Amino acid sequence: MPKNGKTDLRTTRGFYDRIAEVQHLAMKLNGYRASVSKFLRSLDLEITPDTSVLDAGSGTGLVTMAFFDAGFKPKRLVALDLSHRSLLLVREQALEKREAAARTELVQANVLSMPFGDDTFDLLLMCGVLEYTPLDDGLREAARVMRKGAKLVLLPVKPSIVGSVLELLYNFKTHPLAKVREAASRYFNIVGNHEFPITEPISWSKTIFLLEKK
């Protein structure tokens, strides 16, 4: 996502269009999807046939597909991302899984100005996207499209050696977790902060906040 206007937006979109296949392969090999699916399955998300879900900054679909792997069957899941090529990879994966194929919608857009009305979604998923935005701007827009009491499963990159390497590779800036908590508390109640077991590779770079819109 952009840091400083249209130029950064085009640069970020072009970068992820170029690396989509490589990133997708890396995510398949590192076990992140299974870790996220296991965590989502452990939550009481109250997904019903009427539930609308948004994966904001979906990338190539790691969290989208982890959600379906967990066995959830919402009315719809919208995968939103800047990168057209990344969204095509989401579609390819969804078509391989019956439940996902019938429920997944693709939207190419910026997480700072999402093309949805207020109070649209019952659940939001965000993984490694707010590192490209001012925290308050990204969380405020997320809250806008969520219904009151809706949950946000937020997976930020945590400050670490691996996080520093990812900053260089992907040209983003990791937010200190204290700042994440501070910004989130303006719009959400912080229900929990989960740490993945050290045996799971995702623990080296990500943490999880479970938030509830005020």
Q: What is the 3-state secondary structure (H, E, C) of 53-64?
A: EEEECCCCCHHH
Query: What is the domain-level CATH number for residue 188?
Result: 3.40.50.150
Residue 2 has pLDDT above 60, yes or no: no
Q: Is 94 within a domain?
A: yes
Residue 46 has pLDDT above 80, yes or no: yes
Q: Is 147 within a domain?
A: yes
- In the chain, the number of structural domains is 1
Q: Is 157 within a domain?
A: yes
Residue 28 has pLDDT above 90, yes or no: no
Reported as a single tens digit per residue, the pLDDT across 78-117 is 999 999 989 999 999 999 998 899 999 999 999 999 999 9
Torsion over CA: 30, 98, 81, 152 (sign): negative
**Amino acid at residue number 113:** S
Asked if 80 and 50 count as a contact pair (C-beta separation under 8 A), the reply is no
Q: With bands split at pLDDT 50, 70 and 90, how would you rate the model's confidence at 201?
A: confident
Measured in degrees and rounded to the nearest 5, phi and psi for residue 50 equal -105, 0
Which residue would you say has higher pLDDT here, 166 or 117? 117
Position 24 scores a pLDDT of 61
Mean pLDDT on 115-126: 98
Q: Is 1 within a domain?
A: no
Asked if 81 and 108 count as a contact pair (C-beta separation under 8 A), the reply is yes
Q: With bands split at pLDDT 50, 70 and 90, how would you rate the model's confidence at 4?
A: very low
Q: With bands split at pLDDT 50, 70 and 90, how would you rate the model's confidence at 11?
A: confident
Domain range for residue 144? 6-213
CA distance 61 to 67: 10
Residue 167 has pLDDT above 60, yes or no: yes
Asked if 114 and 141 count as a contact pair (C-beta separation under 8 A), the reply is yes
Position 6 scores a pLDDT of 41
Position 29 scores a pLDDT of 56
Position 170 scores a pLDDT of 83
Position 108 scores a pLDDT of 97
On average, the pLDDT of the chain sits at 90
